Structure 1
Amino acid sequence: MSTENVERLEGDYAALKPGYTEADEERWLPEHGKSVYRSSFERDRARLLHSSSLRRLGAKTQVVSPDIDDFSRTRLTHSLEVAQVGRELGRLLGCDPDVVDGACLSHDLGHPPFGHNGETVLNELAADCGGFEGNAQTLRILTKLETKRFHPDGRSAGLNLTRASLDAAVKYPWRSHEAPLKGDGTRSQKFGAYEDDLEVFHWLRSGIEGRRKSMEAQVMDAADDIAYSVHDVEDGIVSGRFQLTLLDNAVQRARVIQTTQEWYLPDTPEDEIEEALTRLAADEHWVRESDGSRRALAALKNMTSQFIGRFCDAIYRATREAHGDHPLVRHEADLVVPRETLVEISLMKGIAANYIMASREQMPVYMRQREVIEGLHSLLIETGDRFLDPQFQADFRDAQDESGRHRAIIDQIASMTDGACLEWYATLVHGKPVVNRLFS
């Protein structure tokens, strides 16, 4: 390619990234030479798409186990949908679409088998080595466990993404003891970096004060909430767990409002949540009842599409009204989510929580999942590195202390899909192969 064409392409890419600096494109481990066909952020997104960690999300629980039916979303399909929502919203606000897309693709990489239930169990088991948090695990995957580059001293640099892409993927940019206080005076259990990973965390947060999230991270966070608020409801209806016509019943309506308040809006009065439900139920696209026919499925799909548009449009308009029309990138502005929109999104999440996650019929499944993770963890603690995959076996042997060796075991379990975790438990703990679904 001629020098003239190379310069033109580089100029075109620079024009596509207004507001981003050379520091934003820096990588933890410097890489020599830039692609003339792709921007640094496009390369980041490609590395994520080709990662094994992303592929494994296809067999990890979103709301229900991935082997329950052929329709319900997995962590992978959810991440792809979040990326689509986030990419479009971010583009409209002036963010680089590939930075937002990459953050959305990576936001759930750290989730262990069995979703939030697995996360809770692993956090208890990992108490002596810094706990477990899905978002902190995501940073660990991006900067160590999912390898593409190595430092000269042999340490892994992970995928070696740019500073802007890593910062966009950090949903909770603080350590565990720096987490913000909740209304009851206790600290949030959400955090974005383990003590083991502070070197890269401080590098990616260079020049940023406090707990501020980047604009791209805020867009990713909003896209996540929007996507799963509507899609979990859709999955619940299609799988036969509930119908929205139930909310016509005063008792059912009160239960959903109470669940929404307890899970997502503890400081919000019930009448404000009731008003949000009334607004959504009055929408012409609200599907009160679905019989599973193609026409009914199309109506459900249209409802999810319209509600995603409703929420994104409200956020876009409010953010533009607050900050004007210039590109909003990195730490130059904050996303504005109108109060009514926040409550509506939370109400949709509350509907799914009430009929799926908080359902009594799920309790035996959750207990069985706990038993599997605890049993596998006990076995690996007893046997050391004997059964670990080669990469985690190396981490175990290179660890300087017991805490480091325990973290290698936690990393191993967290990396597993639901099916792999069940198979390891059956074969290693009970000495027999899996022949039937454990939870059927």
Structure 2
Amino acid sequence: MTDEAGKRRPRWGLRVLLALLALVVVAGVALAVAVHHRQEQERLGLGAVSAPSAPQELEGSTGRTGAFTAQIDFTSMATGAETISTEVAWDDEWFFADPTVYNHELATTCAVLSAVANSESGYYQEGSDSPAYMEAALAELGFEDISTASYQYRSEIFDEVVDFLAGTDDVVAYSVATKRVTADDGREKTLYLVSVRGSYGSEWLSDLNMGDAADYEMDAIDHEGFMRAANEIVDDLAERITREAGDGGTDDVALLFCGHSRGAATANLAASYADDMTLGLRVLAPLESIYCYTFATPELTTVENTGDALYDNIFNILNPSDMVPRLPLASWGYTRYGHDLWLPGYGDEGFDEKYEAMCEVFEANTGVECPYVPEDREHVDKLVEDLGREIPTAEDLASAGGVVSLVHDLLADVNPMQVLYGHYPSVYIAWMQSLA
């Protein structure tokens, strides 16, 4: 090849580089256009599966009041997408009782409804034939008004990509349903049920968004990723209750919050905010009518008044072999609002008999053997101890050394997939039912 020909023809390496650069630019522009288009669709309410209407009334079920049992369908992580079913109890009288007194039947029903919140996502995926699990469940329990609209634009894979790129992943999907409940003595209330979905898609990144109190010019704050999600729910409730209560006030309103994992953290905070609001002028419901049961609840705040009597209506049910309730670390100053109630754990007196009973319930519910390994409690305890020693503060986690320590300890001391079994909603449900 002559020098002149070499000058006229770019080298193949340069051609490939330029082609790749062009592809990156085109792909970036296309992605930006697609993200903007999707955001516009969301703004206009287009391009998503519409919220389903409530199922038609079933004879002897929808509209029921008082005390009864109902069969509820949902999916389990232990069985993939397969639908399973379990019986739950319901009693309108629960919502005229003291919310600071733990109610195991109500808690067990909330454990199931928290699992149903996770199952609902499939309905909102384009082309899916998944049923609207939450609508069906709440219709069985006699609820008249059901909204799962927040699942729109938060259940498709591309929507999760959009949230990640736009930095709008501090959200959750949740259901709000209302039912007029009646006490044995004839008193009535309007119950608002809020069941919150656990971590989904890019929302996992929000689980890591603990925030910085300095940004708020405060000494301590709630976990930022959970706080923003909880604020959305409270604002939604405030708007609905104000509109529906009108001039009648909120004295006859009751609230029930529940959720699992990220949903538990969000429900815990939302309930605590509703409690706080009873001290001001913008009251969602009387303090004596606010109920909250959460499961596998992460540590979620660094404020110091979480044990105040104001939050005695919040109960967090936790599995000692589950890693999630131990994060963020208590040694970093994190805790939960309300009361922590620990399920039986490996090494506790009488555990073997209780574990056997739980496994029987789990298999009856799911049709498969329970995969959860209670001995993981020892590994979780050791991991928490090691992390607390090697990563003394939350700020240290962001350092390169903190990340290395986290990865090293996780890989050295625990089997992440095995430990995850103890986090399954179906495991929590089986424990709750076996302890009845």
Normalising by structure 1, report the TM-score.
0.26
Higher percent of residues as helix: 1
User: Which structure has the larger Rg?
Assistant: 2
Normalising by structure 2, report the TM-score.
0.26
